[in-house]
Structure 1
Amino acid sequence: MATSAPSTSFVHSMPLLQQWAAAINTCNCPDVHHANWFTRWLVISRSCVFSMTFTSGFIGVLLAASQGAFVENTLYKIFLALLCVIGLVFAHATNNLVNDWTDVRSGVDTEDYPRSQYSVHPVLGGLTTPGMLLKVSGALTLIDGLIMLYLASVSGPMVIVIAVAGLALSLGYTAFLKRYALGELTALVVWGPLMIGGTVYAISGHLDFNTLLMTLPYGLIVASVLIGKHTDKIENDRPVGVRSVPVLLGEQNALTLNKITFIAFYVLVVVLVVARVASPWILLTFLALPRLFAVWKIYSQPKPTTKPDNWPVWPLWFVGWAMGLNRSYGSLFILGLILSLIAPPIGHALGIG
């Protein structure tokens, strides 16, 4: 059943920023029906997973900077970067809204489906209507279309190709890709080459093969989040005809696949550094090994039969741990890219190197 709400007075006494933080960090907010309208839409749009899109966009911005894209017209290029990140987040929100609309119409989402249990479902939980989901999706798509056309006028028509490809894969994911074991691969392509590579191109007007290679590690670790989510939903997806990779493999094999994915991230990072495609600074991602070990332990044990204390997205389990690892990998990857940009100038100023 949809999550019941605490007392109205609790939410009204909850500072607005705390409401937003709850929605972003836990996919929910206490007594969300009485929360600020913006808070409600943070919950409706599943803003708790926007960090993946923001990370992809930021990686793209940093890769563009590594190509010297911000040397001239710096403020204008920052403006283009902001447009890219805003456009990506709006596209992700649109995908989530359309996904919920489609799954309600097709009968996938019900009150006992995980989507209605880890968070208040937008429609089944009474937060909004199917029609409003489509209206907001249309408005966000219109804004994204305007951003796309402007960026294309600045950087070239390839922006349109990349954006349309992303839109097609996003709509295809909801309609059929996730039903035929292609959702996980779609996530890798969208959050890797399309989002990261597309941002680089939109800012710099250039996208080379080495840059595309740099998009793969984070794209892969986003795919691991999908593997984790679909593993949690095996028993719910199988009866409704959603044949995700975990449904086809079974739980234990799916967990093994995700362990391989976690390791493959590091393999790609090392290969990129050894091949001199990436700076050694991205080896800072190895600082996430303690978290990997913790996640590995969780993935080697049975899922709890009851909700653990302070676990916000139950009955989802494996995806929560994959998401935590995603954030660690992504933040350290970004830190490595930042240091690769600022370390040489600092060293030169100090007479080092």
Structure 2
Amino acid sequence: MGIKAETNPSFPGLKPAPQKGRRIWWNLLRPHTLTAAFVPVFIGTAYALIVYGTIHVPLFLIMLLACILIQAATNMFNEYFDYKRGLDHEGSVGIGGAIVREGVRPNTVLYLAYSFFGAAILLGVYICMNSSWWLAAIGLVCMAVAYLYTGGPLPIAYTPFGELTAGFFMGVVIIGIAFFIQTGAVPREVTLLSIPSSILIGAILLSNNIRDLDGDRESGRKTLAILVGQKHAIMVLAGMFIITYAWTTGLILSGIASPWLLVTFFSIPKAVSAVKGFIGKQHPLEMMPAMVATAKTNTIFGFLFALGLLLQYLM
């Protein structure tokens, strides 16, 4: 616990603030990322309520907790494997810092991640008992992808497919499962409804990779941001936001969702600030507000999306 903080190389003289007690473990969870885990559960469950008029509340809550545990474990694997590969240091931004700044033993972080996976599996057993055992196979695939995102010989996060993988599994798959455990089916409309959330989850990863572009390039990563360059990566991010709102409009025009879904447009200013926050910035700390804005766009949009579905049900 007594590691001395070193100066951030991008901002000489700036040292990360030391953390104490529970704050260390809270930061290790990377709480700003957890919304990407529970927002899709809200969306899938809200649409199930529209279609069937009722939901199984215990299944909803247990699914919610299981997804949060898996996301938190993924963050811990990220912390552990990036440390093992020498990518994280005391001046790194956007990390929990439990290992490199607070002196927590790497194996402690790894075992804690495994324990979160174990708890999620136990919750998954309850979900399967009340829905379908086919979900056990899907759940194990999701957990394997969560581990391989930064673990294994070729981590997904080191390739151009990180955004696509995260968006698919945390958007399409989680929304589909959340709907299925309530209804026993996954119609085409559910997949179409999951696209905006999937895109925004991918946007969170892209914003992270834009911020870390220089360091990732030095470490040999081949992320999408590195392949297209910072300027074009920002354009891709803007395009993802545009497609998200255009797709939402399409859901309304096609009759899949009601005009209440237009409430999601209240999140547009945050998306605009995210894109503007990256333009002209070079240092990771300068880009942190833009990355936070991207994550908040996903959170605000997701909650408003679920709210729009609930208003459709109530009205």
Q: Shared fold by TM > 0.5? A: yes
Deviation string, structure 1 residues 34-84 (Cα, Å, up to 9, x no partner): x3x3x43211111121122121111122122122162xxx6xx10110000
SS in 2 for 1:117: coil
Structure 1 position 329 matched with structure 2 position 301: yes
Which consecutive residues of structure 2, in runs of 5 or more, have no partner in the other structure? 7-15
The one-letter code matched in structure 2 to 1:64 is A
CA distance in 1, matches of 2:75, 2:87: 14
Q: Which residue of 2 aligns with 1:10?
A: none
Shift of 1:316: 2.9
The counterpart of 1:239, out of the listed 207, 218, 226, is 218
TM-score, normalised with respect to structure 1: 0.79
Shift of 1:237: 0.1
**How many residues end up aligned between the 2 structures?**
301
Q: After the TM superposition, which residues 120-135 of structure 1 pair with which residues of structure 2 at under 5 Å, given as runs? A: 121-135=97-111
The counterpart of 1:251, out of the listed 227, 230, 238, is 230
Q: Which residue of 1 aligns with 2:193?
A: 214
CA distance in 1, matches of 2:275, 2:250: 23
Deviation string, structure 1 residues 233-277 (Cα, Å, up to 9, x no partner): 110000111111001110000000000000000111111112222
CA distance in 1, matches of 2:100, 2:161: 27
Q: Which residue of 2 aligns with 1:85?
A: 64
Q: Which residue of 2 aligns with 1:298?
A: 277
SS in 1 for 2:130: helix
Deviation string, structure 1 residues 193-231 (Cα, Å, up to 9, x no partner): 111111111232221111111111111111111111100
The counterpart of 2:48, out of the listed 60, 64, 75, is 64
- The verdict on how the C-alpha distance between 1:125 and 1:164 changes in structure 2, with shifts beyond 3 A counting, is same
CA distance in 1, matches of 2:284, 2:30: 24
Q: Which residue of 2 aligns with 1:8?
A: none
Q: Which residue of 2 aligns with 1:54?
A: 38
The counterpart of 1:275, out of the listed 254, 257, 280, is 254
Q: After the TM superposition, which residues 1-353 of structure 1 pair with which residues of structure 2 at under 5 Å, given as runs? A: 31-33=18-20, 35=21, 37=22, 39-68=23-52, 70=54, 77-112=56-91, 116-118=92-94, 121-175=97-151, 176-299=155-278, 301-303=279-281, 316-343=288-315
CA distance in 2, matches of 1:68, 1:225: 32
Contact map agreement 1:52 1:222 (CA 8 A) in 2: yes
Contact map agreement 1:234 1:251 (CA 8 A) in 2: yes
CA distance in 1, matches of 2:96, 2:79: 12
The one-letter code matched in structure 1 to 2:121 is G
The one-letter code matched in structure 2 to 1:192 is G
The one-letter code matched in structure 1 to 2:305 is F
Contact map agreement 1:44 1:127 (CA 8 A) in 2: no
Pick 1 or 2: higher relative contact order, CA cutoff 8 A, min separation 6: 2
Shift of 1:188: 0.9
SS in 2 for 1:155: coil
Contact map agreement 1:3 1:117 (CA 8 A) in 2: no
Shift of 1:160: 1.4
Which consecutive residues of structure 1, in runs of 5 or more, have no partner in the other structure? 5-28, 308-313, 344-353
Contact map agreement 1:53 1:88 (CA 8 A) in 2: yes
Q: Which residue of 2 aligns with 1:9?
A: none
Identity of aligned residues (%): 22
- The verdict on how the C-alpha distance between 1:139 and 1:161 changes in structure 2, with shifts beyond 3 A counting, is same
CA distance in 2, matches of 1:2, 1:60: 45
Contact map agreement 1:227 1:319 (CA 8 A) in 2: no
SS in 1 for 2:104: coil
- Name the stretch that deviates more: 80-89 or 128-137: 128-137
TM-score, normalised with respect to structure 2: 0.88
RMSD: 2.3
SS in 1 for 2:100: coil
Contact map agreement 1:229 1:318 (CA 8 A) in 2: no
Contact map agreement 2:81 2:150 (CA 8 A) in 1: yes
Between Structure 1 and Structure 2, whose CA radius of gyration is higher? 1
CA distance in 2, matches of 1:237, 1:277: 41
CA distance in 1, matches of 2:38, 2:284: 33
